[in-house]
Chain A
Amino acid sequence: MTMKHQTHRNLGDILAEHLEQDIPDDINVWPGVLSRVRTVTPVQGAATAAPQHHARRLRPAFEVIAGVTAIVVVSVMLVAVFRPSPSQEQSQGALVEPVVPAQLIMQDSMDSTRPWAGTLARPVDPDTLVDLPGIEPVDLSQFGAHALSPDGTRLIGVVSAGDARGTPCNDGAPSGRSDLRIFNLETWQWEHCLGFPSFSASLSLSFSWLLWSSDGTLIYALTTDDSRSAEGGKADGTEIHRLWIIDPSGAAEPQSVPISFAVGGMFTAPDGEDLYLFGYPLDENERAWMLGGPARLVALDAHTGQERARIELPDVTIGQTREIDTAGQSVYQHYRPGFAMAPGGDRFYIAHADQPRVDVIDLASMRIERSVSLEEPASVVDSLLGIIVQPAAAKGSSDGERSIVVSPDGSTIYVTGVTGDETEWSPVGVIAVDISTWTFRRIDSTATQIQISPDGRWLYAVDRMHLQYAAPVDGRLRVLDADSGEEVKRLVDGAYVMQVAMYGIDHLYVTTPTELYHTTAPYPEGEQLVRVTAYAVGTWTELAQITGHLNLRIAFPSQ
């Protein structure tokens, strides 16, 4: 064998050996991806408000999600739950009702053997889950990001000309162009497109957030220039996103303003005058979405997008940071604080990801009103033993996740989440903070995600048993009394909870896998893989149950 041949033959092996040494098999970029996805780009999802993440659909192969993903998704979604309806009283203490879709919409795979081919959505009877007669199912899955109007009748979504399924308003448009289009859930008809020239000229834009104004007269779209990801960001850091203020009728030209920081959340005030962006500046020397300065909450004029006020929050750690671990290695850490606006629009809450604390921001003055410590004292036994114990729930963690749920009357905020990452984690449980006294109490110790009923009486608490990739999937769904935390009903025990959806105050829908879900081939024809069960809230009696294919879900859960 000649040396030439030897060199060629072994080069790949030598390179592989070197790469395996330098880049071990257990490398994990998921936290970084997740952080960037969460802070930058929404998935199609939660029906109404700001953060659009809504991924509660699982496949056996994706049980990866186990905790962190689903927790991020649901926690972000929970932030949106209590965006006030314009028809409601806006003062603190008045009950704020959720946005309810005009009809209960169910979706499932268009073709049971080809789940990627799209889904069909159709209205169903909330009690029986039977299709309403005489209505043709519609493919709404072509929507990317979307948002439900405050009155629950109209759905606006992003449609792409590159979609193989095609969209009428994109006929002839260049591939990659994105437009907005409206679907009327009440009449079950497509409405007009908002394919204005500004968007079509910006093929590299992707939609990060969509949000209706509280009176339904404006739509806010936050776009991200894809070149930020591909090329490492704007050199001068002047435009990370662009905020578009859009007339949904299409009568007026949209306005836009550049946003110079990464946005993690977008909220409207109930009076419709202010738009709030919560985010952080980026490190200009990094291509990643790295924290480059203090987090901030910025108030914009809701009609023009001009900045009115801002508060910088140097104590709030969010996004990615590059740190040195105990082994001296450079590692990325990810911080995901929870945040939510009070129903009255007068306060903004932030649950720190790295310390047991909730900051309360007064939005009128844009100042920190108070900081509520959630640090719990060690138990008597632990104290006697001299052990310093911080309950896991109260610990801060770089890879932890917090979410905040606010009661509909604004009187209580609930903090939940997980600490740690996929390999070492613990549930936060539920910590309730009474805003009249600013005192907190632990009402649960195992929940990792929660939603609250529209009347504020019940917490729907999901306990995840595994966060590890490919771990066996099981879990619980418990109904807790929102005051005491007492478990009043266990609706799921030992199965993965794929979706918890509310429709009004009296219907609850729970999506779980069937027995076949974990055992059959990926796309068995005719097999029923997913089950949706309808419950009557309060009695918790089962009203109806249907099974379906891979994509069976409540399409736009009441929010």
Chain B
Amino acid sequence: MRQAQGAERSNVQQGGSVDDRQALACLRQGDISALADLVARHQTSAVRVAYAITRDRPLAEDIAQSAFVRVFERADQLRSDDAFRSWFLRSIANDAIKAAQRAQRHVSLEDARPHVAALVERIRDPALEPDDLLTGNETRAEIWVALGLLTPAERAAIVLHDYLGLTIAETSQHLESPTGTIKWRLHRARQRLRMLMHPQANAAAQAHDLDHAP
């Protein structure tokens, strides 16, 4: 798993790869095969990033498709010396935020509460070690639900910073928000997640926080 994340991380941080530059060059010449190459190379990351933010797979696939079509349509406007992957995932993240905001795809509190309650119960189980909590399938699903309580922008910050491994400054640049805003989003997002995961979480505080989730 760490390897997978590491691969994503290294890929997104690297400069414009030769392959990407090569593909963009061919795409400018009208070579649609170059688009196929870009799709093959970046589609998984693109859909995962979009999905993590929108939580809707068909919508995520559609966002990725649209982004690739946009690359095709505007190939002549993309600079070859830019890091394509970095630019592309930034584009995906921003599209996903907009799409999620439009679709209002937040998990409703009514839907989330049973999962959250189950998570809290599990975390309070003294027999479980923290690592057990973090590797169990159920916990994973519950954290996924908990992430759904965040706003799309907060989820995007988590995805870029924690999943793709970008720095605060890079996340700020990608999401076109000041670093202070990104720090606040990450802090608020983690605080909410921590509330769910901490065994001594104050139930009242937790309820208050969840009730005020966007």
Most chain A CB within 10 A, of B18, B26, B28, is at: B28
B18 to chain A, nearest CB (A): 6
A14-51 vs B, CB cutoff 8 Å, 1 = contact: the mask equals 11111110110101111011101100110111000000
CB-CB under 8 A from A287, the residues of chain B are 59, 62, 66, 99
Contact of A163 among B35, B40, B77 (CB under 8 A): B77
Bound CA span A44–B62, Å? 25
CB-CB under 8 A from A172, the residues of chain B are none
Most chain A CB within 10 A, of B34, B51, B64, is at: B34
CB-based contact A12/B162 at 8 Å: yes
A221-265 vs B, CB cutoff 8 Å, 1 = contact: the mask equals 000001001111000000000000000000000000000000000
Q: Does B29 touch A at the CB level, under 8 Å?
A: yes
Q: Does A65 touch B at the CB level, under 8 Å?
A: yes
Most chain B CB within 10 A, of A8, A14, A65, A550, is at: A14
Bound CA span A30–B134, Å? 34
Known contacts A11-B158, A61-B23; decide if A41 and B28 are in contact (CB<8 Å): no
Chain A contact-residue range equals 35 or more
Contact of A551 among B29, B39, B163 (CB under 8 A): B29
Number of interface residues of B (CB under 8 A): 74
B90 to chain A, nearest CB (A): 14
CB-CB under 8 A from A15, the residues of chain B are 52, 143-144, 147, 158-159, 162-163
CB-CB under 8 A from A45, the residues of chain B are 30
B149 to chain A, nearest CB (A): 14
Interface residues of B in 134-183 (CB under 8 A from A): 134, 139-141, 143-144, 147, 158-159, 162-163, 165
Bound CA span A32–B8, Å? 23
Q: Does A160 touch B at the CB level, under 8 Å?
A: yes
Interface residues of B in 54-73 (CB under 8 A from A): 57-62, 64-66, 68-70, 72-73
CB-CB under 8 A from B120, the residues of chain A are none
Q: Does A322 touch B at the CB level, under 8 Å?
A: yes
CB-based contact A59/B76 at 8 Å: no
A487-516 vs B, CB cutoff 8 Å, 1 = contact: the mask equals 000000000000000000000000000000
Contact of B130 among A6, A12, A53, A176 (CB under 8 A): A6
CB-based contact A37/B44 at 8 Å: no
CB-based contact A160/B76 at 8 Å: yes
Bound CA span A176–B77, Å? 8
Q: Does B205 touch A at the CB level, under 8 Å?
A: no
Known contacts A22-B57, A160-B76, A164-B79; decide if A12 and B165 are in contact (CB<8 Å): yes
Seen from chain A, the residues whose Cβ lies within 8 Å of a Cβ on chain B are 1, 3-4, 6-8, 10-20, 22-23, 25, 27-30, 32-34, 36-37, 40-41, 43-45, 53-55, 57-59, 61-65, 69-70, 72-73, 114-119, 141-142, 144, 160, 162-164, 175-176, 206, 226, 229-232, 286-288, 322, 330, 332, 469-470, 522-523, 550-551
List the 7 shortest-distance A-B pairs measured between CB atoms, nearest first. A116-B25, A65-B33, A12-B162, A44-B30, A55-B32, A43-B30, A162-B77
